[in-house]
């Protein structure tokens, strides 16, 4: 209305309205209902695609569409990836199974070092703190070097298929207390549960 009044004051008459020109309005497509059925056996009747506005995609139609497509190499690659990941997961699970035994072994070694140092202090009561700390550190380094290669190797062997028996062999060789190993396992499980309960930080 404001535009018409301004035109009338400027021109002296109200301009005639022009009839709108005919515009071709594109016809809207019929609504399409997409149904994806990947169940075996099928959940949707195969005849559903005959209904107007319905498009059904099922396993059979996907197989027909991909029959001529160059997908063989991709499928082989996916299978290799899945196989590698499954193997890696199994190896990690087997390696984790021996971890409590390795921790118990190192705990026993630390207790041996502490006991020997206490015995040394009884024999040498005049040993000053500096020399005591140096001797303790030296003994610990020796023990760590002796245990490093066996513990690393036993983890590698345990990660291989059929490697579950290495944990038992390690416990037998070093006469480890089964309760100590079990307590380490319980502590690790408790830590994992607490981390899950806290969620991402």
Residue 41's pLDDT is 86
Residue 89's CB: how many other CB atoms inside 10 A? Answer: 10
pTM recorded for the entire structure:
0.48
What is the distance between the alpha carbons of residues 68 and 65, in angstroms, rounded to a whole number? 7
Given a cut of 70, the residues of the chain with pLDDT beneath it are 1-31, 66-73, 184-201
Residue 78's CB: how many other CB atoms inside 10 A? Answer: 11
* Long-range contacts at 7-12 (CB < 8 A, ≥ 24 apart): none
For residue range 121-168, list pLDDT tens digits in order.
888 888 888 999 999 999 999 999 999 998 888 888 888 877 778 888
> CA geometry: angle at 126 spanning 120 and 130, to 5°?
80
**Are 54 and 32 contacting, i.e. CB atoms less than 8 angstroms apart?**
yes
**Are 93 and 87 contacting, i.e. CB atoms less than 8 angstroms apart?**
no
| 167 alpha carbon, distance to own chain's centre | 26
24-39 per-residue burial string, b: 16 or more CB within 10 A, e: under 16: eeeeeeeeeeeeebee
Dihedral angle computed from the Cα positions of residues 150, 153, 158 and 163, in that order, rounded to the nearest 10 degrees: -90
- Residue 165 Cα distances to 32, 102, 158, 168, 170, angstroms: 60, 14, 8, 5, 9
């Amino acid at each position: 209305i404001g535009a018409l009044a301004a035109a009338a004051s400027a021109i002296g008459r109200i301009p005639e309205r022009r009839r709108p020109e005919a515009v071709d309005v594109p016809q809207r497509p019929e609504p399409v209902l997409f149904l994806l059925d990947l169940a075996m056996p099928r959940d949707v009747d195969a005849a559903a695609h005959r209904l107007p506005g319905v498009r059904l995609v099922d396993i059979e139609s996907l197989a027909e569409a991909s029959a001529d497509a160059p997908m063989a190499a991709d499928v082989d690659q996916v299978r290799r990836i899945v196989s590698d990941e499954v193997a890696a997961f199994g190896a990690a699970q087997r390696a984790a199974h021996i971890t409590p035994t390795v921790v118990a072994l190192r705990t026993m070694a630390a207790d041996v070092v502490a006991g020997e140092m206490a015995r040394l202090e009884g024999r040498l009561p005049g040993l000053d703190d500096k020399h005591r700390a140096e001797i303790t550190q030296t003994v610990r380094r020796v023990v760590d070097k002796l245990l490093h290669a066996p513990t690393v190797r036993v983890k590698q062997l345990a990660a291989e298929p059929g490697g579950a028996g290495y944990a038992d062999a390690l416990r037998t060789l070093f006469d480890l207390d089964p309760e100590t190993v079990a307590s380490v396992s319980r502590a690790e499980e408790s830590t994992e549960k607490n981390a899950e309960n806290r969620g991402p930080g």
